[in-house]
Amino acid sequence: MTALEVAVTGILQAVGLFALAPLLTGVMRKIKARTQKRIGASVVQPYYDLLKLLRKDEIVSEHASWVFRWAPWVVVSSTMAAALFVPVFVPFSPFSAGGDVLVVLGLLALARFFVMLAGIDTASAFGGIGVSREMMLSSLAEPGLFLTVFVVSLTLGGTNLTSLVGAAARLGVVVAPSMFFGLIAFFIITLAETGRLPFDNPATHLELTMVHEAMVLEYSGRGLALIQWSQSIKQLLLLGLMVDLFLPLGMPSSVDAGLWLLGLGAAVAVVKVILVAMVIAYLETRVAKWRLFRLPDLFSMAIASAMVGMVLFYL
């Protein structure tokens, strides 16, 4: 492929990721409803919700500063910028030269930081509760996340995401024991980062249990739509990385593959992401939200799994 074709394909991948993110949220809600013997809303309902919020006026607290007003734009911009570095449907990204995994983690951390700032900017008690809980969970999730990155980088070589996805695709099926334990750690961290059960319940507004929803409780209209959209994009990014790095079967190994191979690989990637999302939605109907002070046990499991993966790599 020429440089222009690579750039156009990568940009189309990013645009598709932005467009399909709410659909993945709708699929997970539908599966969760079906497993709970409910009909549930349509899988395209998140699109209607976003359009409705975009048309509504915003209500801003008199105590809010510029941080509260600009935080949704910083969050969605950081999340979209991270998406430009991540190969999800094809084995390369538009900015693969700078597509380091640490850059992506930094952009996602920036988005989380501004959400936490906005949560306490309005002087809301609920926002303060959500921010304190989010800070606790983030401080516990970061060690497991970075250890998982080390395991993947050691096994596949390097930290450039395009190189990592290409190396995994060339292997076809990653059977290294280190990657198996890395998958366990990454799965647990993904549940925490996306606010899924048992860490958080995205469908609740109970002050005793909510974490992410407490931080954005003061938002309405366009600001709430941007935050919800960015959360869906982040969820698709993490699930896409999971299937591309740990379940790479069907992904082309390089940019030299033909367009039909790239299209087939993109279709396979979409199917794999939906299957993983269905598994997560099904598991959510079988577990309850854990108490806050029991969650470190899960993070300890993720950290231990990643450390076992590192030990097995050197054996």
**What is the residue whose two structure tokens read 């919020």?**
53
Residues facing 160 on adjacent strands: 100
What is the structure's pLDDT at 102? 87
Range ranked top by mean pLDDT from 94-108, 165-179, 213-227: 213-227
Contacts of 90 (CB under 8 A, 6+ apart): 9, 10, 13, 252, 262, 265, 266
Calpha distance 295→299 (Å, rounded): 7
Write out pLDDT tens, residues 257-308.
Answer: 667 777 888 888 899 999 999 999 998 888 888 888 889 999 999 999 999 9
pTM of the model: 0.92
pLDDT at 9 exceeding the cut of 90: no
| Residues 6 or more apart whose Cβ sits within 8 Å of residue 187 | 242
What DSSP line would sit under 277-288, residue for residue? HHHHHHHHTT--
Q: What angle do CA 215, 217, 219 make, to 5 degrees?
A: 105
Q: For all residues of the chain together, what is the average pLDDT?
A: 87
Asked if 237 contacts 83 with a C-beta cutoff of 8 angstroms, the reply is yes
Q: Report how far residue 165's alpha carbon sits from residue 245's, in angstroms, rounded to the nearest whole number.
A: 6
| pLDDT tops 80 at residue 172 | no
Least confident residue range of 42-46, 115-119, 244-248, 259-263: 259-263
pLDDT, tens digit (0-9, with 9 covering 90-100), for 77-98: 999 999 888 888 888 777 776 6
Domain boundaries, the chain: 3-314
Handedness of CA 148, 253, 17, 275 (dihedral sign): negative
Distance of CA 73 to the CA centre of its chain: 18
